[in-house]
A = this chain, B = another copy of it.
């Protein structure tokens, strides 16, 4: 058990490393050469197009202004300068709400820290048992400040119970207020949004197949019959997964070609070549530039074949459709109601915004979804509780004996004591580290298999899974030593009343561990977040090898976005630690406070200067944040109950049993009170916006506005004549659809797939211009994706 001195050392090291990171950041960020890494948001915004610090040659790369080095912490006040409404305009509501979580943390924990330190420390310290009773045991100084120090059967436990009540009320009050504010912020944000395609559009899944009718006809028929006054048009979804895969491969080849061409330009004396065999070690020697050019040509052929197939084959139309309505009211109605007798058909939901759509999952049928959910929830359970098994297996493979058997020539090196101990300490850890590093990716893939159709939803699901993992493996795993599997075993064989006791007893003893954890993961981790080491390296590698044009530079910039799947669960873990330890070991609270304050500053800076969210969910993650804090409250109450029952505080314990019930009731109330605002679009709002728009723009051509909003992004790369062909085919279907009954109600000639020849010509694919990138989406930053989503459909830039 760590003493106060140990913690001091740990704190010193971590503060030092945090400062080192900050210093490095301060130095690197003012170098013009790094400007695109540390201020990409301003480039994307269009308010900056090149670093404007100096005019001479060296000044273009290195900052020569000495005064700027002296004020190395001035990013902090800069970060605070923007108001919340400015941040909403600048970075979107998601980012603003994300920052509010940190503020909520500060609001919760500042008064709690003061109160707990002022009241509990004196109560715990005076007349403690630990001084007198078990001098022989190695007891940490921290423990003397904790509840462990109070004599069993003491009346002082009433103070702890009272504070638990007070804290619960305080947290619930703040949570209620915050939920209220966030919900109204969301509604205001949605109300203030300009006209957007998703406001009018509903995604319809599981369109039934009617023989002799295409899906387009079926959709048209159905909505003209059942929403005659509101239905406008719809957009069919094409299965372009294979094409997207080809496009991705071709993009990779193009990168290699660019790289080699650049290499050749810089060293014109030597034309790059390689051997065709494995890793270029043997085989026929080829000229690389010609080789890649040839390969790309091959791919172009295959892709044009695939394109033909998508256009010609009616099977490439999926049983999914984006249905647009004349009014927001009509879309809100359709999204919230049940359409068909068979509730597994015609599933309607709000369409995610176009850049938020995860195209691959659109075509999953209903039965499959149920099975997928079952399989994934079982897998997550297995992953959370049994993840140590495969890692232990890998570790046992990677131990020294195994290594010696495989490579006997290494024996003399391995047998050296220093190297041996290093390897023995290092190899098993490496396997675990690797696993933890790829964990978010694994969880994201799982969420994708589950079948959610919006990226925002995928990220929320991933975040939930990550939270369960952290709760079991970091929180419980640290308290009850042993693997999660062992914990599960002991939980299954203990009585339900025993579990809180087991946890409750060991919780005060683990305070020092968690203090260290907060310093390493919280303080130093956040400081390294601001440094952006990985993007920095990648950016410089790319500018060195790939960047030729200004546009390439923009693409190499990759600002990324707030990594919700990782940051939200981490944050929630800190809330859990703070709430659980507030009454047990209040000395932990200041460390949490520092984390919240520091992380708030860092993320405020990052959101203002770096991150560029690739979708906007209008704070849709808030209900999750809320319910996880409630869960933390419940855990803290149960743990305190268990702890007090081992302390024989029979008088005060029954008082505590009421608290979880009240907390749950509060949660249920909040859920009913606020959650619908995050799920449904109220008709009142929709109608108000419709009326306003009608009065300001009475002759708006909504159909033209919506025409290709939800066009599968692959079509933006199609050639003009092909698109016309697609359109023709759809129109022909159209002609035969409209039945005599519905045609008189419906709007004339709905066209659900319209090509705009006026779109900028550079967005269209021209095979004759190889140096240009194959695919260029209309608004590049929209198609950036976080590094952990490699399997995202197609418009994914290699980092």
Which stretch in A1-9, A489-497, A621-629, A754-762 binds the other chain?
A489-497
CA distance A333 to B336 in the complex (A): 8
11 extra interface residue pairs, beta carbon distance < 8 Å, beyond A339-B682, A378-B661 = A222-B684, A338-B680, A338-B683, A341-B677, A344-B672, A366-B672, A366-B673, A367-B669, A492-B495, A493-B497, A493-B498
Residue on B with the closest CB to A184? B341
Residue pair B496, A337 in contact (C-beta under 8 Å): no
CA distance A477 to B710 in the complex (A): 60
Residue pair B668, A370 in contact (C-beta under 8 Å): yes
Report the minimum CB–CB distance from A690 to chain B (whole Å): 10
Task: Give the chain B neighbours of A229 by CB distance below 8 A.
Answer: 229
Interface string of A333-371 (1 = CB under 8 A from B): 100111111011010000000000000000000110011
Q: Is A33 an interface residue (CB 8 A)?
A: no
Task: Give the chain B neighbours of A367 by CB distance below 8 A.
Answer: 669
Q: Is A226 an interface residue (CB 8 A)?
A: yes
Task: Give the chain B neighbours of A341 by CB distance below 8 A.
Answer: 184, 187, 677, 682, 684-685
Residue pair B344, A337 in contact (C-beta under 8 Å): no
Residue pair A343, B683 in contact (C-beta under 8 Å): no
Q: Is A225 an interface residue (CB 8 A)?
A: yes
Residue pair B497, A495 in contact (C-beta under 8 Å): no
Report the minimum CB–CB distance from A11 to chain B (whole Å): 41
Q: Is A687 an interface residue (CB 8 A)?
A: yes
Residue pair B665, A370 in contact (C-beta under 8 Å): yes
Report the minimum CB–CB distance from A134 to chain B (whole Å): 29
Report the minimum CB–CB distance from A4 to chain B (whole Å): 39
From B336, B498, B661, B682, contact of A374 by CB (8 A): B661
CA distance A341 to B186 in the complex (A): 11
Task: Give the chain B neighbours of A672 by CB distance below 8 A.
Answer: 343-344, 366, 370
Residue pair A374, B684 in contact (C-beta under 8 Å): no
CA distance A188 to B675 in the complex (A): 34
Q: Is A674 an interface residue (CB 8 A)?
A: yes
CA distance A466 to B775 in the complex (A): 65
Q: Is A676 an interface residue (CB 8 A)?
A: yes
Q: Is A332 an interface residue (CB 8 A)?
A: yes
Report the minimum CB–CB distance from A730 to chain B (whole Å): 24
Residue pair A340, B495 in contact (C-beta under 8 Å): no
Known: A336-B336, A665-B370. A673 touches B344 (CB 8 A): yes
Known: A367-B669, A665-B370. A337 touches B493 (CB 8 A): no
Residue pair B493, A676 in contact (C-beta under 8 Å): no
Residue on B with the closest CB to A491? B496
Interface string of A679-697 (1 = CB under 8 A from B): 0111111010000000000
Most buried by B among A492, A493, A665, A682: A682
From B337, B340, B687, contact of A225 by CB (8 A): B687
CA distance A336 to B683 in the complex (A): 11
Copies, count: 2
From B226, B333, B336, B497, contact of A684 by CB (8 A): B226
CA distance A494 to B661 in the complex (A): 22
Task: Give the chain B neighbours of A497 by CB distance below 8 A.
Answer: 492-493
Task: Give the chain B neighbours of A676 by CB distance below 8 A.
Answer: 338, 343
Some 16 contacts from A to B, beta carbons below 8 A apart, are: A184-B341, A222-B684, A225-B684, A338-B683, A339-B684, A341-B682, A341-B685, A343-B672, A343-B677, A344-B672, A370-B668, A373-B668, A374-B661, A374-B665, A493-B497, A495-B498
Interface string of A93-133 (1 = CB under 8 A from B): 00000000000000000000000000000000000000000
Known: A682-B338, A682-B339, A687-B226. A493 touches B495 (CB 8 A): yes
Residue on B with the closest CB to A369? B672
CA distance A497 to B498 in the complex (A): 14
Residue pair A683, B339 in contact (C-beta under 8 Å): yes
Report the minimum CB–CB distance from A674 to chain B (whole Å): 7
Residue pair B495, A669 in contact (C-beta under 8 Å): no
CA distance A675 to B674 in the complex (A): 25
Report the minimum CB–CB distance from A340 to chain B (whole Å): 5
Contacts of A580-598 to chain B: CB distance below 8 A: none
CA distance A371 to B339 in the complex (A): 34
Contacts of A364-399 to chain B: CB distance below 8 A: 366-367, 370-371, 373-374, 378
CA distance A124 to B372 in the complex (A): 40
Report the minimum CB–CB distance from A371 to chain B (whole Å): 8
Interface string of A125-155 (1 = CB under 8 A from B): 0000000000000000000000000000000
Task: Give the chain B neighbours of A340 by CB distance below 8 A.
Answer: 682, 684
Task: Give the chain B neighbours of A496 by CB distance below 8 A.
Answer: 491-492, 496
Residue pair B343, A333 in contact (C-beta under 8 Å): no
Task: Give the chain B neighbours of A669 by CB distance below 8 A.
Answer: 367, 370
CA distance A225 to B683 in the complex (A): 10
Residue pair A338, B336 in contact (C-beta under 8 Å): yes
Residue on B with the closest CB to A344? B673
CA distance A496 to B675 in the complex (A): 33
Interface string of A160-196 (1 = CB under 8 A from B): 0000000000000000000000001001000000000
Residue pair B683, A337 in contact (C-beta under 8 Å): yes
Report the minimum CB–CB distance from A222 to chain B (whole Å): 8
Report the minimum CB–CB distance from A156 to chain B (whole Å): 27
CA distance A338 to B184 in the complex (A): 16
Most buried by B among A184, A187, A226: A226
CA distance A690 to B370 in the complex (A): 34
CA distance A339 to B687 in the complex (A): 10
CA distance A493 to B500 in the complex (A): 12
Task: Give the chain B neighbours of A673 by CB distance below 8 A.
Answer: 343-344, 366
Report the minimum CB–CB distance from A645 to chain B (whole Å): 12
Task: Give the chain B neighbours of A225 by CB distance below 8 A.
Answer: 684, 687
Residue pair B674, A343 in contact (C-beta under 8 Å): yes
Most buried by B among A341, A491, A661: A341
